[in-house]
Structure formats: C-alpha cells, structure tokens
Amino acid sequence: MAYKETHNRFTRAWMRFVGWRERHISESRFLYLLALIVGIACGIAAHILKYLIHLISGVLTSHLSNTTGNYMYLIYPVVGVLIVTLFVKYVVKDNISHGVTRVLYAISQHKSRLKTKNCYASLVASSITIGFGGSVGAEGPIVFTGAAIGSNIGQAFRLSPKILMILVGCGAAAGIAGIFRAPIAGMLFTLEVLMIDFTGATVMPLLISSITGATVAYIFEGYGNEFFFAQSEPFFTSKIPYAILLGIVSGFVSLYFTKMMFAMESLFRKINRTAWKILFGGIVLAGLIFVFPPLYGEGYDAINHLLEGDAATILDGSLFYVDRNSMWFIAIYIGLIILTKVFATSATNGAGGVGGTFAPSLFVGAMTGFLFAYILNNLDLGIEISNKNFALMGMAGVMSGVMHAPLMAIFLTAEMTGGYELFLPLLIVSTLSYMTIKIFLPYSIYSMRLAQKGELMTNEKDQAVLTLLKIDNLIERDCTPVYPEMSLKEMVDVIAESHRNIFPVIDNDGMMKGIVLLDDIRNIMFRPDLYRKMTVSRFMSMPPAKIEITESMEKVMRTFDNTNAWNLPVVDKGRYIGMVSKSKIFNSYRRVLRHYSDD
C-alpha cells in the first residue's frame, strides 16, 4: 500500500514537472538537453555491453590452447544460445532479434515508440550470445538499446512523434559512437541506415548525442582506437587500379553475404519448433567455430592480426596450426572463412541468439581485403601492395555494400583505426562497392525486410509519408450498404436517408458484390412503375478495383492512379470493410507531410 502511494505521489509530481516544461520550454530547445542525456546513457550502455562480452569471453577462452583444436568450441556456442533462448522466452517474452530492423520498423510503423524492456533486453542477451561464441556483432543490439533509451525518455516527457523519431536516432547514433568511439560514424549511421532526414532540426541533436556517447567511451576506455593500425606502408596513386578492383570485389562479396543471409533466414523460418532450431543452428555454429576459430564471437582479434599484416595467426587454436607456413593453405583457409561467416552468423540468430550483422560485415571485409592483396602479392606478377592497407579498405568496402552506407563505412573505418591517411582509397573502395551492390539490391540488409512488406520509411518524402499513413485510419464507414435482392423502391429509400452518392452492394455474409453509384440510377429513380420490377442486382456495377486491408499505402495510391477512381471499396479477403477516398488520402498526406517536415 505504501509503495502504491509513493508511486502515485511520484507520478503526480512528474506530471506537474512535465506540464511546467511544456509551458516554459519549447520542444526544439528541450531536445538539445535530452540529446545530451541520451548520449550519456547510451555511452554507458555501450561500455557495459563491451565489458560483459569481454568478461564472459575472457573467462571461457583464457585457458584454451593456440596450437591445437579446442573441443570446447563445440559446447560454448550452443550453451550460450540455449541460455539466451530461455531468457528471451521467459523473461523478455518478446522478439528482440534483428535490432536495427526493429528500430526501422518502430520509426516507420509505431511512431518511434519502443518498449521499456528494450532498454536492457538486447544488451543482456547479446552479451551472453557473443561472449559464449555466437558469431554476431554487438552493434545491432546497442543500436536497439540506444534507440529504446531515446524513445522512452521522449515518451516520458510526452514529446511529439517527430521529436521521438529524432531521439530514437540520437540513441542509435550514441550507441554506435560509444561502442566504436566513432562520433562522426554514429551520426552518419543514423542518417544513412535509419534514414533520418538530414535537416537543421536533426543534425545538432545527433551530433550532441554522438559526441557525448563517444566521450563517455573515452572516459571509461581511454583515448585510443578500437583496432590497432599503424600506417607503415604509404598508399601510392599507382595502386588506385587495385583499389578500384577491390571495390568491385567487395560489392560482390556484400551481395553474396546479403543473399545468403536471407536464404538462411528463410530456412530457419521453416523450422517451427524451437528445440529443432537450437539443435540445427547449434550444430552448424559449433561445427564452423571448431574448424574456423576466428568465427568465435565478433572476431575482432582476427581483424587486429590482419591489420598488423600477420596472416599466420589466423590458424591459431585450430586443427590446422601446423600448416601456418603454407601460403596457399592460409589463402584457402581465409577464403573459406569469408564464405562460411554468413552461415555462422545466420545460425547464431536463427538458433535463438541475439546479435547484429554489423561486426560480421567488418570481419568479412577485413578478410576479403587481406586475401585480395595476399593472393596478388604471391602470384609472381610483380605486384606489391600492402596486405594490411587492403584489409582496412576491405572493411569499408564490404560494410558499405551490406549496409548501403558508404559515408558511414568510410568514416567508421577511419575513426576506429586511425587510418585517415588511406582516406582516398577508402573513398574509392567504399563507393564502388556500394555502386556494385546497388545494381542488384536496392535496399540494405536491414531495410530489405521491411521494404518487401511496404513498411519502410525512407528519405524520400513521398514514400515516407505514404508509409506513415495507415489504411485503417482512412476507411470511411458511412456508406450505407445495400443488398442484391433489394427493390428500386428500397434503394430510393436508402438514398433519401444517406448523404453519400456511392453504395456498396454486399450479400448476407458481408461479401462484396458490387457498387451502386447515384449517377448511374438517377434516370430511373423517379419512375414508380419500376420500383417493384427492378432490383439492385440489375443496376449495380463492379468497382474499378478493390483494396485489400493489408495493402501498403504506396500500393493503394498506385491503384487509384491506375483506375482514375476517387472512391474504392476496402475488403478483407472479399468481405466488405468500408470505402476509402482519394480526397481523404490527400488531406491526411498533407497533414502528415507538414507535421514531419517542419524544422
């Protein structure tokens, strides 16, 4: 009882404070303070996530050998997935996989509202998944966590959907900035991947949150780079042709990664029982990690070795340690890692683990760039290029292709390695990779899931506004339905009491049979001699098209354009629901556009 009274007292005090803020501080000014708070909270969350991952991974792997195969790799990943599955099923009780996609969905479909549990659920689940060896990244979960923090802070102050959307972006930007210590990349991630508009109203809050998140990370972890990279081999303009070729190769590797990821997701969706998913995914994941230990966790240690130019360490902890002096065996081994990383990542998430594809794209990129240079240098073609420079460039290339975010890939790679001297080749590789994959896939790995359902809000104002509109909110239910067997007299009586000029015709089961337009029967309405002779079935007509209740607004507008109609019926598997008019859509469109476009 005392707790309830205290809670009620706190709620009343909080609402008084919120009311005072609404009267004295405008949303736009208050946004800057909240961006700072979100940045601090997300920076701390990013540090906690990294700490938990390193703690769990360190405890589990510190005793493992580097010179032989480690059979514990067959156990750890399965145990981690099992723990996370139980945590999600009995504690979270919600689907928290594909964090970045869920943030995009919240922006597009839920007015940027995320649940309170999302502020911690992904953080806990992903730290266990990755710490136990799940071959995924922590960046997707920290984006989900940061976005949830921003959303819930905004909801607590009763802010508008437009401001909530910016705060969601602030949380995501701060999460990326905090986990990579890369503030510019954090902001660009929000603009390119989450597709928040680049306007005066968004740039400053995003910058504040990104800088704050990165600053918190520097305070806890020191002023260093996420990956160690020493620029000992300068990049000469004579190497530009090889950078161009690597960009194209990275684009095709990105295409392979994305296509295989979706193919594996489809395979796991066909498995209905959770136990079978854990068994199948666990066998695939544990087997791959046992054969290819660099697939364990995020794989950042392997990336660091490649950025140091050391290829032989890629065999540490594997069954093939004795072959570390064989150049071609190392090349084949790295190539197989590139091909199998996507299977390990998909198996982790498909089995029930929680993690993102951000780190895997970095990992595959580093491997691709290193292998590209490694092979060219050992083909006796007289070519001499830096293995570690191209590993760095490959990171930017594959990430750019997978994420469809070339600017973010360039700045993230430069910020987390200090490789600013390679800015020109990073630009070349990142841009060409993005252009290559764009030919085949118009959307990123995150947005494709929503784009296929018509649920994605993009930077294109027209498509974004149509995504925000919901057909449920536009249905007009004041059109009086009539029945095929009704007489003309009964039809005239209905018209006399109605203020609409269109009447849906339905049967006794509510199924749509046609429509009656007032203009079509105006010439017989006043002929009493026909009142008993003619029925609705004689003069009704078919509508030019029907709109299914599940259709996206983009498809609805295409239907209106193709039919030149102003009113169309909405049905649910043939059952009449109501009418939707083009004029109401236009009015709602204008209102939403004005609301979300104001700076």
- What would the mean pLDDT of 131-148 be, rounded to a whole number? 94
Model pLDDT, residue 371: 96
The region, left, alpha or beta by phi > 0 then psi within -120 to 50, assigned to residue 380 is: left
Max mean pLDDT among 24-28, 167-171, 443-447, 463-467 falls in 167-171
Where, residue-wise, is CATH 1.10.3080.10 in the chain? 12-221, 237-454
pLDDT of 598 strictly over 60? no
Query: Residue 43's CB: how many other CB atoms inside 10 A?
Result: 29
Strands 512-517 and 547-548: unpaired
Q: Which residue has the higher pLDDT, 77 or 474?
A: 77
pTM, two decimal places:
0.79
Least confident of 35-39, 321-325, 369-373, 375-379: 321-325
**CATH number for the domain formed by residue range(s) 237-454:** 1.10.3080.10
- In what helix (H) or strand (E) does residue 515 lie, and over which residues does it extend? strand 512-517
Q: What are 569's strand-pairing partners?
A: 579
Smallest CA-to-CA distance from 426 within 195, 180, 417 is with: 417
What does the pLDDT read at residue 599? 45
In words, the CATH class of domain 12-221 is mainly alpha
User: pLDDT for 104-137, tens place per residue?
Assistant: 878 777 778 899 999 999 999 999 999 999 999 9
Which band of pLDDT confidence, cut at 50, 70 and 90, is reported for residue 553? confident
Structure tokens at 109: 């479909």
- 464-597 CATH, one of 3.10.20.30, 2.170.190.11, 3.40.50.300, 3.10.580.10: 3.10.580.10
Question: In Å, how far are 122, 277, 289 from 566, measured between CA atoms?
Answer: 46, 49, 59
Task: Could you list the beta-strand ranges (E) of 242-341.
Answer: none
Q: What is the pLDDT of residue 443?
A: 78
Q: How far is CA 292 from CA 99, 296, 330, in A?
A: 26, 8, 12
Closest CA to 406 of 150, 189, 106: 189
Query: In this predicted structure, which of 245-249, 367-371, 395-399, 585-589 has the lowest mean pLDDT?
Result: 585-589
459 versus 524: which is more confidently predicted?
Answer: 524
Q: Residue 509: is it exposed, middle or buried by C-beta count within 10 angstroms (0-12/13-18/19+)?
A: exposed
Question: Could you give the angle at the alpha carbon of 118 between the alpha carbons of 115 and 120, nearest 5°?
Answer: 140
**pLDDT confidence tier of residue 451, bands split at 50, 70 and 90:** low
CA distance 85 to 518: 59
401 close to 255: Cβ distance less than 8 angstroms: yes
Residues carrying CATH 3.10.580.10, the chain = 464-597
319 vs 351 pLDDT, higher one:
351
Cβ neighbourhood burial of 183 (10 Å; 0-12, 13-18, 19+): buried
Quickly state the pLDDT bin for 473 (edges 50, 70, 90).
confident
Q: Which residue in 403, 404, 410 sits closest to 426, CA to CA?
A: 410
Write the pLDDT tens digit of every residue in 335-377. Answer: 999 999 999 999 999 999 999 888 999 999 999 999 999 999 9
| CA of residue 538 relative to chain centroid, distance | 53
Q: What average pLDDT does the chain have?
A: 88
What is the 3-state secondary structure of 30-48?
A: HHHHHHHHHHHHHHHHHHH
Cβ contact 83:132 at 8 Å: yes
Q: 331: which residues sit within 8 A by CB, 6+ positions away?
A: 371, 374, 375, 378
Contact status, residue 160 vs residue 326, Cβ threshold 8 Å: no
Dump pLDDT digits (tens) for 430-449.
999 999 999 999 878 777 76
Output the six-digit token pair for 11.
């709620």
- Residues 175-223 have pLDDT tens digits of 999 999 999 999 999 888 877 766 777 889 999 999 999 999 999 998 8
For strands 575-581 and 502-506, give the pairing: unpaired
Please give the average per-residue pLDDT across 291-297, as a whole number: 94
Say if residues 214 and 186 touch (Cβ distance below 8 Å).
Answer: yes
